[in-house]
Amino acid sequence: EDLSWQRELREQFPIIGAHPELAYLDSAATSQKPRAVLEAVQTYLTTSNANAGRGTYPWANRTTELVESTRERVKEFLHDPEPGRSGVHFTSGTTGGLRSVARDWLVPHLTDGDEILVPYADHRANLDPWLEARRLLAERGADVRVQALPCQPISGDYDHRALAEAVGPRTRFVAVTHVHHVYGGDMNVHRIREAVGPDVPICLDAAQSIGHQPVHLDDPSLDVDFVVFSGHKAMALPGSGAVWARNARGPAFRPDGWQGTPNTVGIVSLRAALDWLDAAGVERIARWTTTLTTRLTDRLRHLGPYEVLGCPASLDAGSALPTAQRRHGIVTFRHRDIPSDDLGFILYSHGFMVRADSLCQAGTDERDGSVRVSLHVYNTAEEIDRLLNVLASLT
């Protein structure tokens, strides 16, 4: 296979080229930034930096125009089938976006006796805002029931059959995760839509899918009402992110417009990042990172002292992971005898940057530590093989 395209994309990341002795394997925490994004920020700051939304001179007008047109760019990136109806609201990231959906949409629109379904074993950012919404509603005298989205024990996938039973006539909202930040599994959103029926709004935490795999809203299997993501995990700067709202089920999402100065530099970086990702080809990125994670998982599963989280141990030792169990850019594991933070330090001593702790998973604490390897388009098969050699030496 000709991998020159991958080498060319990798070369566009200055930080990677500057450190050939290091392997960055922590892209689920934040991605590295391509030169095009760095240059867009530099150009903006050296040619038209101003505040947005209040200008009477060209730099300010240009900044306002950049912010507004980036909303349209986000819709385009998401293949929004109805851009005239939907809205894009810029936030500080996924955490801020989910908070905004909870505070600005859920709280004003739920009433006493309503029910919501939310994930209890995904990222904490996709649980705390819903619990907070329940508290705020209770203060107003509305008792809203928060139910856990049922999960399957080992894989972390949602239990779609149990989910169908949990949905009732008062279910008003479901929050789900697109790709799990620990297991790396695709959470099969189309099956959630099937289980909850056509009328219940679904909010998608796309923190780990944007830029990693197509998130195309014209695909009927992605019939969700909110898409929330962080720019910094998708090649843009920290502090940038967005909520896309379909505005077709229930009241429209209208958070306050200009609440002070928007993160103009972050928004400029987000626009450049989306341009870069479209040019690089997100489908190609997805195929590449899935190839690398499959290579890592298939070998790691058979290394004695390691447990790969989310992989059933009962699978035949010699067999490859079934397609449905494939991990997308994320592999999390434990060593039987080496605590995860020690394993993290050992790996760094060999030049590998990984995440090693409880990974912000709801319902876990520091004792449940693990090591997460997470990839993006700049990672290589050679990095995975070197990592596997080091892991294999730690018996």
Q: Considering beta carbons, is residue 181 or 246 the nearer one to ligand PMP?
A: 181
What is the four-CA torsion angle of 375, 282, 97, 231, rounded to 10 degrees? Answer: 70
Return the bridge partners of 355, or none.
372
Whether 301 contacts 279, CB under 8 Å: no
Q: Considering beta carbons, is residue 209 or 294 the nearer one to ligand PMP?
A: 209
Among 9, 78, 102, 125, binds ligand PMP (CB under 6 A): 125
Q: How far apart are CA 310 and CA 156, in angstroms?
A: 6
Tell me: does residue 123 bind ligand PMP (CB under 6 A).
Answer: yes
Among 208, 213, 290, 325, binds ligand PMP (CB under 6 A): 208
Tell me: does residue 373 bind ligand PMP (CB under 6 A).
Answer: no
Contact stretch for ligand PMP (CB under 6 A) within 50-58, 79-87, 160-168, 205-213: 205-213
Pairing mode, strands 145-148 and 370-374: unpaired
Tell me: does residue 93 bind ligand PMP (CB under 6 A).
Answer: yes
Contact stretch for ligand PMP (CB under 6 A) within 87-95, 143-151, 212-220, 252-260: 87-95
- The per-residue b/e assignment along 213-244, b for 16 or more CB within 10 angstroms, e otherwise, is bbbebeeeebbbbbbbbbbbbbbbbebbbbbb
Q: Which residue has the tokens 């107003």?
A: 140
Among 27, 32, 95, 171, binds ligand PMP (CB under 6 A): 95
Q: Considering beta carbons, is residue 31 or 294 the nearer one to ligand PMP?
A: 31
Query: What's the closest the beta carbon of residue 243 comes to ligand PMP, in angstroms?
Result: 12
Closest listed residue to residue 22, CA positions, set 8, 13, 288: 13
Binding track over 219-258 against ligand PMP, x by CB under 6 A: -----------x----------------------------
The token pair that represents 358 in the structure block = 């409880």
The single-letter DSSP state of residue 161 is H
Q: Which residues bind ligand PMP (CB under 6 A)?
A: 28, 93-95, 123, 125-126, 177, 181, 205, 207-208, 230, 360
